[in-house]
């Protein structure tokens, strides 16, 4: 006669294994959402910028305005996302995916400068909505707290895939408009893989337990301030890295260095998640921002291919780590504020991204050296790390 205790234990183990499989699938869906909206919709423009200028589909001046519009859109999207209820997060994640595919396809058309700038503005809005909504859907609606590092690694994966698609198309001598169409098709495929899961609503029954809050937590104010400074600190490297390396790599396509940036970002989310669990929010943020500052300043100290590659690895390996640390920290502080803390943090990050290129342009006025902007960006990251210690 079967032992009831053994049978119950086996049934419980089976349910846990099934739940773990679902948890992984949902984290993958959230990662795909960020790969499309952030990796493709937002960051592919970094690699496409010089190709569009080369092909005459966009001037340097229009490109700068389009980049600024994208940063402004990211800020606007974060402010709008602050008003999205958790229960609607999956729906808005889907909206962001569909909108991103359309915006990528639109860039495959020979758009006049004002319309191109508007498309990049909309893409910025959608990327912020996707980031906040996907995080809200996975962490709050589905309760998959252990899926955070996999979800945020999606940004790096999206950067790598889009960068290598651009590199292959460029090697095949595709026109930049054709490359945008290829990116739109790639984004459509990835969106289709995530679409069904994002329609899932709040779970019933026992939710997976949240992990215990690490020691050394930050309060809402220093978390917002340090996160905003992080947005200022990384954006110059994230915007101009292919431009830094253009003359240092010889025949190698600079877009590959941008792919290295993404390759550093994807696995780093797991590393910084583990560091956060072990050291707590304060020390994890300090280490993360400190390493990021070193990566940011490297191209100002050495104009060699090795320095540029090291910068790509260090900044790529920390900028999404910052999000991986800060998002769970914000979730644990949610009861202390009356607003969507992660959305406000994302807005602060957006402000930093807008101010960074403006300050960079002012410091570079009359010269072509990125030394002063990179030094200031690294200083902002050091200040952010210092705030985490207060």
Two structure tokens written together for 343: 């959305």
Provide the pLDDT confidence category of residue 361 given band limits of 50, 70 and 90: confident
Q: Is it the case that residue 115 has pLDDT exceeding 80?
A: yes
Query: How much is the pLDDT for 248?
Result: 66
- Answer yes or no: do 143 and 170 share one domain: yes
Q: Is residue 207 part of a domain?
A: no
Assign 273 to helix, strand or coil: helix
Are residues 333 and 221 in contact, defined by beta-carbon separation less than 8 angstroms? no
- Answer yes or no: do 187 and 250 share one domain: no
Mean pLDDT, residues 364-369: 67
> pTM here?
0.86
Q: Is residue 17 part of a domain?
A: no
Q: Is residue 266 part of a domain?
A: yes
Provide the pLDDT confidence category of residue 12 given band limits of 50, 70 and 90: very low
Provide the pLDDT confidence category of residue 238 given band limits of 50, 70 and 90: confident
Q: Is it the case that residue 161 has pLDDT exceeding 50?
A: yes
Of the candidates 152, 192, 202, 143, the one whose C-alpha atom is nearest the C-alpha of residue 30 is 152
For the ranges 52-66, 250-264, 359-373, the lowest mean pLDDT is seen at: 359-373
CA dihedral 359, 364, 366, 371 (to 10 degrees): 150
Two structure tokens written together for 139: 């962490």
> Considering 159, 174, 201, which residue would you say is the last residue of a domain?
201
The per-residue pLDDT of the chain, averaged, comes to 87
Q: Is it the case that residue 154 has pLDDT exceeding 60?
A: yes
The tens digit of pLDDT for each residue in 163-173 reads 999 999 988 99
Query: How much is the pLDDT for 121?
Result: 97
Provide the pLDDT confidence category of residue 3 given band limits of 50, 70 and 90: low
Q: Is it the case that residue 210 has pLDDT exceeding 60?
A: no
Q: Is residue 329 part of a domain?
A: yes
Two structure tokens written together for 304: 């060699």
Q: Is residue 86 part of a domain?
A: yes
Query: How much is the pLDDT for 4?
Result: 56
Residue scoring higher pLDDT (134 or 206)? 134
- Answer yes or no: do 231 and 183 share one domain: no
Rg (CA), the chain: 21
| Host domain of residue 39 | 25-201
For the ranges 42-46, 218-222, 253-257, the lowest mean pLDDT is seen at: 253-257
- Answer yes or no: do 270 and 171 share one domain: no
Q: Is it the case that residue 63 has pLDDT exceeding 50?
A: yes
Residue scoring higher pLDDT (227 or 373)? 227
- Answer yes or no: do 38 and 187 share one domain: yes
- Answer yes or no: do 294 and 169 share one domain: no
- Answer yes or no: do 302 and 177 share one domain: no
CA dihedral 253, 258, 262, 265 (to 10 degrees): 140
Provide the pLDDT confidence category of residue 206 given band limits of 50, 70 and 90: very low
Are residues 175 and 55 in contact, defined by beta-carbon separation less than 8 angstroms? yes
Query: How much is the pLDDT for 339?
Result: 85
> Considering 166, 201, 236, which residue would you say is the last residue of a domain?
201
Query: How much is the pLDDT for 30?
Result: 96
The label of the residue with tokens 């595919």 reads 101
Domains: count for the chain: 2
Q: Is residue 176 part of a domain?
A: yes
What is d(CA 262, CA 21) in angstroms, rounded to the nearest whole number? 26
Return the percentage of the chain with pLDDT > 90, whole number: 61
Are residues 147 and 29 in contact, defined by beta-carbon separation less than 8 angstroms? no
Find all residues with CB under 8 Å of 245, minimum gap 6, and list them: 254, 257, 305, 308
What is d(CA 125, CA 114) in angstroms, rounded to the nearest whole number? 17
> Considering 148, 172, 201, which residue would you say is the last residue of a domain?
201
Q: HSE (CB half, 13 Å, CA atoms) of 103?
A: 28
Q: Is residue 280 part of a domain?
A: yes
Q: Is it the case that residue 159 has pLDDT exceeding 50?
A: yes
**Residue 208 DSSP one-character state:** P
- Answer yes or no: do 188 and 221 share one domain: no
Taking each helix axis from N to C end, the angle separating 89-106 and 113-136, rounded to the nearest 10 degrees, works out to: 150
- Answer yes or no: do 387 and 252 share one domain: yes
Q: Is it the case that residue 194 has pLDDT exceeding 50?
A: yes
- Answer yes or no: do 289 and 313 share one domain: yes
Mean pLDDT, residues 212-236: 85
Provide the pLDDT confidence category of residue 11 given band limits of 50, 70 and 90: very low
- Answer yes or no: do 156 and 264 share one domain: no
Residue scoring higher pLDDT (158 or 11)? 158
Q: Is residue 14 part of a domain?
A: no
Residue scoring higher pLDDT (113 or 46)? 113
- Answer yes or no: do 54 and 185 share one domain: yes
> What phi, psi does 328 have (nearest 5°)?
-65, -35
Q: Is it the case that residue 15 has pLDDT exceeding 60?
A: no
Of the candidates 72, 367, 62, 361, the one whose C-alpha atom is nearest the C-alpha of residue 240 is 361
What is d(CA 28, CA 137) in angstroms, rounded to the nearest whole number? 12
Q: Is it the case that residue 69 has pLDDT exceeding 60?
A: yes
Assign 144 to helix, strand or coil: coil
Domain with 70 in it: what CATH number?
1.20.1250.20
The tens digit of pLDDT for each residue in 292-342 reads 999 999 988 988 888 888 998 999 999 999 999 999 898 888 888 888 899
> What phi, psi does 8 have (nearest 5°)?
-65, -40
For the ranges 94-103, 198-207, 266-275, the lowest mean pLDDT is seen at: 198-207
Mean pLDDT, residues 152-166: 94
């Amino acid at each position: 006669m079967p032992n009831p205790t053994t049978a119950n234990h086996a049934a419980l183990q089976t349910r846990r294994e099934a739940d773990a499989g679902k948890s992984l699938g949902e984290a993958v869906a959230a990662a795909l959402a960020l790969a499309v909206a952030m990796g493709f919709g937002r960051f592919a423009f970094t690699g496409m910028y010089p190709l569009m200028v080369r092909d005459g589909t966009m001037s340097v001046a229009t490109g700068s305005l389009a980049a600024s519009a994208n940063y402004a859109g990211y800020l606007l999207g974060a402010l709008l996302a602050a008003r999205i209820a958790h229960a609607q997060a999956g729906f808005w994640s889907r909206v962001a995916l569909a909108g991103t595919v359309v915006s990528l396809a639109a860039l495959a058309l020979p758009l006049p400068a004002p319309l191109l700038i508007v498309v990049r503005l909309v893409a910025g809005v959608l990327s912020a909505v996707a980031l906040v909504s996907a995080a809200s859907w996975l962490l709050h609606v589905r309760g998959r707290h252990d899926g955070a590092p996999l979800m945020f690694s999606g940004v790096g994966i999206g950067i790598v895939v889009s960068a290598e698609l651009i590199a292959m198309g460029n090697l095949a001598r595709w026109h930049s408009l054709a490359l945008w169409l290829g990116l739109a098709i790639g984004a459509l495929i990835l969106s289709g893989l995530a679409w069904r899961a994002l329609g899932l609503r709040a779970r019933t029954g026992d939710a997976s337990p949240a992990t215990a809050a690490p020691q050394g937590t930050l309060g809402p104010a220093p978390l917002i301030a340090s996160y905003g400074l992080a947005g200022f600190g990384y954006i110059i490297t994230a915007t101009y890295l292919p431009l830094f390396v253009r003359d240092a790599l010889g025949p190698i396509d600079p877009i590959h260095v941008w792919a290295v940036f993404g390759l550093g970002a994807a696995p780093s989310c797991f590393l910084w998640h583990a560091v956060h669990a072990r050291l707590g929010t304060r020390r994890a943020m300090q280490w993360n921002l400190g390493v990021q500052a070193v990566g940011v300043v490297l191209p100002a100290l050495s104009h060699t291919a090795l320095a540029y590659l090291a910068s790509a690895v260090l900044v790529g390996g920390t900028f999404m780590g910052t999000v991986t640390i800060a998002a769970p920290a914000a979730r644990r502080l949610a009861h202390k504020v009356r607003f969507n803390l992660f959305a406000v943090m994302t807005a602060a990050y957006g402000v930093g991204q807008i101010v960074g290129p403006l300050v960079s342009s002012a410091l570079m006025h009359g010269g072509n050296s990125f030394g002063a902007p990179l030094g200031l960006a690294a200083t902002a990251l050091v200040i952010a790390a210092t705030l985490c210690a207060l």
